[in-house]
Structure 1
Amino acid sequence: MSRVNTVLGPIPTEELGFVAVHEHIGYGMPGCELDTKWWKTPEERYEETVPKLRRFHEYGGGTFVDATGICNGRDVDYYKSLAARTGVHIVACTGFVGGDTALAFFARASVEYLTRQFVHEITVGIGDTGSKAGIIKVGVSRGFRMTDLDKRIYRAAARAAVTTGVPIFTHLAVDSEPAIDIFREEGLSLDRVLFGHADDGVSQGKVRDTEIADQGGRIGFDTFGYDLELPDPPFWGRPRKERLDHLLRFIRGGYLDRVLASADANCSPLGWPGVKGHTVNYLFEELIPDLREAGIDEATITTLFVDNPASFLTIQS
């Protein structure tokens, strides 16, 4: 039986439904929990998060993939309570958003140690939660070039993916050449890797998206909603139409089976104010209507949000 690990246990792939493949329950940089300016009580986090997940479920959302890596506010017991309360399947990840978010203990670790860490969290569980990770997060550190630590993390992730059958998604799709070399050296098919944030504003001109797709990789258009039209847009924002047109060119250029889309929103940001009004529900409230208006049919929308994520997330054992 094909299956995917969620925080409440493995489920058949067919039960995933509509998938938001790159989101955050709450993301923050290491140490943000010590800053009293931004500290939130569990009650405050619930008040921010539960309505967003319930609305997602009401719209028809089935699965929320949390991209918050080790050291960035990952809280699996909290995810379990949210999943039970809202009916949304939540997939937790192992791995790191980037080498520059790994605390010193992990930054000094060997590839072998990191591999064991990832495999344990996928096959045994994360801490004492009893929940198994369903995906591995890796990322390119600030500066748009992979550091030596990034490369160690990518190699460990590749080994863990080959061993366990779970996929990998990346923070940023820049500097993809060394990543692809590492995945190939470790025997990992690029079909098991989602190169994320190919659509964000700061990555443009640095991402070889069609080249990655031509080699078998998957491409994440997963920063929808971070629009420069916002009153206070983030530095990675991009004009709404420009991002949409990028996705449309990719779909119409014959790459539909390589594309996954998401919003990369924070339900309750940790250590920073977040982007006001931006939630996972942008997918239903703005993106899908934009796609329909552009002439994209329902079958293609289903491919983007149901079929492609199911294929990607299924454990390949």
Structure 2
Amino acid sequence: MSRVNTVLGPIPPEELGIVAVHEHIGYGMPGSELDTKWWKSPEQRYAETVPKLRAFHEYGGGTFVDVTGICNGRDVDYYKSLSAKTGVHIVACTGFVGGDTALPFFARASVDYLAEHFVHEITVGIGGTGSSAGVIKVGVSRGGRMTELDKRIYRAAARAALATGVPILTHLAIDAENAIAIFGEEGLPLDRVLFGHADDGVNAEQTRDLWIAEQGGRVGFDTFGYETELEDPPFWARPRKERLDHFLRFIGHGHLDRALASADANCSPLGWPGVKGHTVNYLFEDLFPDLRAAGVDEATITTLFVENPADFLTIQN
């Protein structure tokens, strides 16, 4: 039976509904939980997060893919309680946002060790939670080029993806040449990889989104809502129309089947203030209306937010 791993157990891909494919329940850098300036009690995190997930469900959202990763605040037991409380399917990940977020224990590990760890979290479970990861997260460290540690993580992720059938989702789509070379050496089909953040305001001009799609990769336009029009925009912000036009151009080049979109929102930021006014529900409140106003029909929206993510997340084995 076709299935997708969620924190409450595997479900058929037909039950995913509308998918926010690149999001965070609570993301922070390693050690942020020790910083008293930004520390939050479980009750505070819950109070910030539940209303956003409930609104997501009420808008018609079905599945929230949390790609926070090891060492960055991943809390699967918490995700299980949130999913049960709100009715939203939550997919958790194994892997790392980038090599520069891996604590020394993992940073010193071999490719084989990392691959075995990822496979364990997918097939046996994450710690003692009884929940299995549904995606593998990898990323390019700060600086714009993959480090040797990044390359080890990408190679381990490719081996784990082949062994388990679970897909890979990347943080940033820059330096894709190195990533695609590694995946090719490991024999991983590129349709099992979603190259994320192709639309962010820092790296969009350096991201070869069309080339990635031509190689067979999937491309994530998943920082929607981080706009220069915000009261206090982050450094990766981008004008709203510019980002939308970029997305529409990509689809217009015949790559609808390669495209996925999300907001990369943080329900309850850890160790930093977050971005005021930006939530996963930007998808329903702003992006869907913008797409419709630009002439995008409902069938295309369904392809982008239901069919493409279901195909991507379905375990291939």
Is the aligned partner of 1:39 residue 2:39?
Answer: yes
Counterparts of 1:33-112 in structure 2 under 5 Å? 33-112=33-112
Amino acid at match of 2:249: R
* Unaligned runs of at least 5 residues, structure 2: none
Task: Show structure 1 runs of 4+ deviating over 3 A.
Answer: none
Per the alignment, residue 157 of structure 1 pairs with 157
Per the alignment, residue 283 of structure 1 pairs with 283
Helix, strand or coil: the match of 2:206? coil
Amino acid at match of 2:261: A
Amino acid at match of 1:169: L
Quick one: distance in 2 between partners of 1:223 and 1:159?
28
Counterparts of 1:160-199 in structure 2 under 5 Å? 160-199=160-199
Quick one: distance in 1 between partners of 2:66 and 2:93?
7
- 1:31 CA drift (Å): 0.2
Per the alignment, residue 299 of structure 1 pairs with 299
Helix, strand or coil: the match of 1:188? coil
Amino acid at match of 2:42: P
- 1:252 CA drift (Å): 1.3
- 1:151 CA drift (Å): 0.0
Amino acid at match of 1:200: D
Per the alignment, residue 265 of structure 1 pairs with 265
Quick one: distance in 1 between partners of 2:251 and 2:180?
23
- 1:253 CA drift (Å): 1.3
Deviations 1:243-297 (A, max 9, x none): 0000010111101000000000000000000000100000000000000000000
Is the aligned partner of 1:225 residue 2:236?
Answer: no
Per the alignment, residue 147 of structure 2 pairs with 147
Quick one: distance in 1 between partners of 2:57 and 2:233?
27
- 1:35 CA drift (Å): 0.1
Per the alignment, residue 243 of structure 1 pairs with 243
Per the alignment, residue 216 of structure 1 pairs with 216
- 1:231 CA drift (Å): 1.1
Amino acid at match of 1:155: R
Quick one: distance in 1 between partners of 2:54 and 2:231?
26
Amino acid at match of 1:268: S
Quick one: distance in 2 between partners of 1:37 and 1:11?
40
Amino acid at match of 1:174: I
Per the alignment, residue 138 of structure 1 pairs with 138
Identity percentage of aligned residues: 83
Quick one: distance in 1 between partners of 2:250 and 2:292?
16
Quick one: distance in 2 between partners of 1:61 and 1:208?
30
Q: Aligned residue pairs: how many? A: 317
Quick one: distance in 2 between partners of 1:276 and 1:115?
37
Amino acid at match of 1:140: V
- 1:192 CA drift (Å): 0.3
Helix, strand or coil: the match of 1:205? helix
Amino acid at match of 2:219: I
Amino acid at match of 2:173: A
Deviations 1:85-108 (A, max 9, x none): 000000000000000000000000
Per the alignment, residue 255 of structure 1 pairs with 255
Quick one: distance in 2 between partners of 1:240 and 1:91?
28
- 1:204 CA drift (Å): 2.0
Amino acid at match of 1:251: I
Deviations 1:127-158 (A, max 9, x none): 00000000000000000000000000000000
Amino acid at match of 1:101: T
Deviations 1:111-136 (A, max 9, x none): 00000000000000000000000000
Helix, strand or coil: the match of 2:213? helix
- 1:232 CA drift (Å): 0.7
Per the alignment, residue 12 of structure 1 pairs with 12
* Unaligned runs of at least 5 residues, structure 1: none
Amino acid at match of 2:131: S
